[in-house]
Structure 1
């Protein structure tokens, strides 16, 4: 079967994923001779090309060890495509199919996801679809995938009268009321992700997606099971991420630092998000005298 090449350089090798709006292919960049992931918008999707291009440009600014990078954007037969870093490994969703994770592993994964989100939010980019299938676990840590269809903070969905973008189980309640995507909406998804990693299930029991949305909008999440040795700070953070009011949710930076501290893990956060170190006027400082210092 003949292979398809986009933009005169990206050869589509095999399809590795499919969603409602797009397909993801393992590809080969013939110019730079490297493997890539290519997201192709599905035929019939009425998404303005300029909108996808603008979002891809925003995502391309992200440079973080826990974020899969965006390399290129183009169009083929008037359908936009996005070329991304190909991340090898297994998704968090594949791991969760076997049940909940050890709390230390779950906390570390979510700390790294939060660190990636902190980098995105610092660039005013919201992911909009944090879920287990978009988290790849690699030997070097967790990688957040699919920033290629992220959005600028506060931007509306392409079709205001259409379905809310994202996977319903992880979408914040305010999004169903018509509010635009913000960093707080990503934090609700992170709370759902952390809850699922710790318990092996979603925070709300429901038989259908509609019931799940109604429960998330109206009910408190079910209590997490008791887990030996897990610090109460992890439970508290999960609860705060799942708050109905966006303003009550922590920032991604706070979540990354708190979760990382709970498992003594280092996370890479944007330096500009940290409090500046105060400058010291050394001319006003007393001069140290010899013999006053101890080893």
Structure 2
């Protein structure tokens, strides 16, 4: 059960029996439902959109479900790339009502899109193939087998397609993969070894990717003719024994797709081979190759999302406080993190939390690159991030008050008592935020965090460039325009686009807004250091 996008339909309003919040996150709409539970659109206190997946009580009571649910989170957290969504938060261990919050992408799934508009044109199909091959490579490099690559688990995002829902994925070296007899995957897109209940390793994802491309090109799977409705036993038999139907596949893709659909896993090309061969077919960008109708759909969905996110928060009397959960930080993969890094670390709750929680997520704490102001040593730093727009600066009517200008520091307790598996064990970490004069729309400062992972000793901090987004009296809203590891040798990539709410609670004190359990371990306030 992933984001559960609803095709071209409007987001469904909340029903009378729906809770107003889950895990401290305010619910805005329904996204859909699946066999595991329901999915809601929610928002954080700083205005970030989340997809919150709940679990049906009868499912959560199944023997071993809690372990499988935890494994889903930890598996999803291991795959960090531009082609996957981030796990942001989840229910505390042992909590009866289990839930999982991920990034929300206002985009249709490939399945929804093809059902409405038909097959993708060839340029978009080639680009989709290249982007998904990159996603597959990221999955493989993380040591994970997705095992359920299908049209419904591919979002046609505005920047690139995204692979979602690692709910049934397993680590490649997981001993439980040696068990046989369990069919895991979606009929029509699963590999022959999955259809027979055999061990499904990385080649199974290559097979499923090719099956998805057949669907994107023709509107049907590779083992059913157009308009043909098959019973499950017939479909499974064809997957194992029959040759795929490749009519309608562009000639440029047919040889590769056919090889990927080989019955024997060792006869299929690897993810590296697939990526290399697709790269030779063209260089179209997804933004340039996507159908115009998809671009329009993305704009409509983004506008709808902005409207929902701008809905005023409930009054203080009606607001539901965040739960006092035992979650100390977002989930964390087994150390050390995968070499390709933690590109999409989960979003911390505050400026300091961004430093801390992102770190805890796998590697990245927030910090920013050098900006065009004095570093304090008399030298002027070179801009690293996007330059502020002159138009936005001149048009802005709100400016950062002079009392905010300066350097602010804080120390977060970290999570030294975490288990080091589902959550990282970190020491206290320092956060330094430097602010200078500017107006809404300007680059206003930077944040630097230094965090030590207890297990590896690595600095998991990040540096962010902050833009002033909004002024609300004594409260400022900052957005991170760029983010990179504080340690130049860091192999991970820091999360981009974080947003923070900060209030001046004293002459020399800034208070950081909390956004649920993920704020745990981060500083609650910063004090002026100069």
User: Under TM normalisation by the shorter chain, which class is it?
Assistant: 0.7 to 0.9
Paired residue secondary structure (1:13) = strand
Contact 1:154 1:180 in 2 (8 A): no
Structure having the higher Rg: 2
Q: RMSD between aligned alpha carbons?
A: 2.6
Q: Is 1:40–2:54 an aligned residue pair?
A: yes
Contact 1:128 1:165 in 2 (8 A): yes
Instruction: Provide the residue aligned with 1:138 in structure 2.
Output: 157
Paired residue secondary structure (1:146) = coil
CA separation of 1:192/1:71 partners in 2, compared to 1, >3 Å: closer, same or farther? Answer: same
TM-score by length of structure 1 reads: 0.79
Aligned pairs (5 A) from 1:31-70: 32-45=46-59, 46=62, 47-70=64-87
Structure 2 spans left out of the alignment, 5+ residues: 1-15, 287-337, 341-530
Structure 1 spans left out of the alignment, 5+ residues: 273-295
Which structure has more relative contact order (CA 8 Å, sep 6+)? It is 1
Instruction: Provide the residue aligned with 1:73 in structure 2.
Output: 90
Instruction: Provide the residue aligned with 2:194 in structure 1.
Output: 175
Aligned pairs (5 A) from 1:186-201: 186-201=205-220
CA separation of 1:129/1:23 partners in 2, compared to 1, >3 Å: closer, same or farther? Answer: farther
Contact 2:218 2:249 in 1 (8 A): no
Q: Deviations over 1:5-57 (max 9, x none)?
A: 333x2333332122222332212234x54211122233322252123213312
For residues 98 and 146 of structure 2, what CA distance do their matches in structure 1 show?
19
For residues 117 and 71 of structure 1, what CA distance do their matches in structure 2 show?
22
Q: Is 1:25–2:40 an aligned residue pair?
A: yes
Aligned pairs (5 A) from 1:208-219: 208-219=231-242
Instruction: Provide the residue aligned with 1:14 in structure 2.
Output: 29
CA separation of 1:160/1:244 partners in 2, compared to 1, >3 Å: closer, same or farther? Answer: closer
Q: How far 1:149 sits from its partner (Å)?
A: 4.4
For residues 259 and 96 of structure 1, what CA distance do their matches in structure 2 show?
22
Paired residue secondary structure (1:147) = coil
Paired residue secondary structure (1:38) = strand
Indicate the structure with greater helix content: 1
CA separation of 1:226/1:236 partners in 2, compared to 1, >3 Å: closer, same or farther? Answer: closer
Q: Deviations over 1:154-203 (max 9, x none)?
A: 5447x976x62321111111113222331111111101001111222111
Q: How far 1:241 sits from its partner (Å)?
A: 1.3
- With 109-118 and 201-210 compared, the bigger mean Cα shift is at 201-210
Q: How far 1:70 sits from its partner (Å)?
A: 1.5
Picking from 93, 97, 112, the partner of 2:111 is: 93
TM-score by length of structure 2 reads: 0.46
CA separation of 1:183/1:41 partners in 2, compared to 1, >3 Å: closer, same or farther? Answer: farther
Q: How far 1:141 sits from its partner (Å)?
A: 1.1
Q: Deviations over 1:193-222 (max 9, x none)?
A: 011112221111252222111111111112
